[in-house]
Amino acid sequence: MLNTGNSSNFRLPGCEKNSDLERRAATFITWLFHPLLIPTYGMCLLYWIFTSIYFIRDIRLFLFLISLTLISTFLLPAISTYLMLRTGSIKDLELNERRERFVPYLITAAYYLFAFYLLKDFPAPSGMLRIIRVFMLGATGSVVIASIVNRFWKISAHSIAQGGGVRHLTYALPPTAFTTS
């Protein structure tokens, strides 16, 4: 019989215990698709999309864009969160406590906004620049909304990041990407 109590106690019949391999695989996937990495993945995909539209093949442009995104949306927020852990402002890096998420999320949003600002002089075609900046502004907005909603309800940062990433990439694709002929 299935256990219908707490979902963390849920076990399928015959699967009394998760294997070590399953736990490691789940942890790997969780970190691979960490919300702080989604903007970097998104920028890589946007650059790939735009290289085929605008025929841009400048590796320096790509390295600048990815470096800026990785530093401002992953490294700086991760370091800030780690420093908050070291000073005792938060209990763990996973931010399991809903109340602890507000300040790290706002700090992250500030770094995202900083990246948005730095992209204003990014040397790219105007259509590409507009979509890249909208992508960063949308990511910033998602983090701000998540910080506000988390004041009242615990929501999944992974879901917000994945949904926002898909939404913005869909927006960036040319209309012909969705037609079949």
In angstroms, the CA 175 to CA 119 distance is 25
Residue 42 · residue 33 · CB < 8 Å: no
Query: What pLDDT does residue 128 have?
Result: 77
Kindly report, residue by residue over 69-112, the tens digit of the pLDDT: 999 999 999 999 999 999 998 898 888 788 888 899 999 999 99
H-type helices in 71-156, by residue range? Answer: 76-86, 102-118, 126-149
Specify whether the CB–CB gap between 25 and 47 falls below 8 A. Answer: no
Q: How many CA atoms lie within 13 A of 91 on its CB side?
A: 6
Task: Please say if the pLDDT value at position 3 is more than 80.
Answer: no
Confidence of residue 2 (pLDDT cuts 50, 70, 90): very low
The residue assigned the tokens 């910033």 is 140
* Residues sharing a CB contact under 8 Å with residue 77, sequence separation 6 or more, in sequence order: 36, 104, 107, 108, 111
pTM of the shown model: 0.76
pLDDT digits (tens, 9 = 90+) for 110-166: 999 999 999 887 777 777 788 888 888 888 988 998 889 888 888 888 788 888 777
Name the residue type at position 118.
Answer: L
Integer Cα distance of 61 and 67 in angstroms: 10
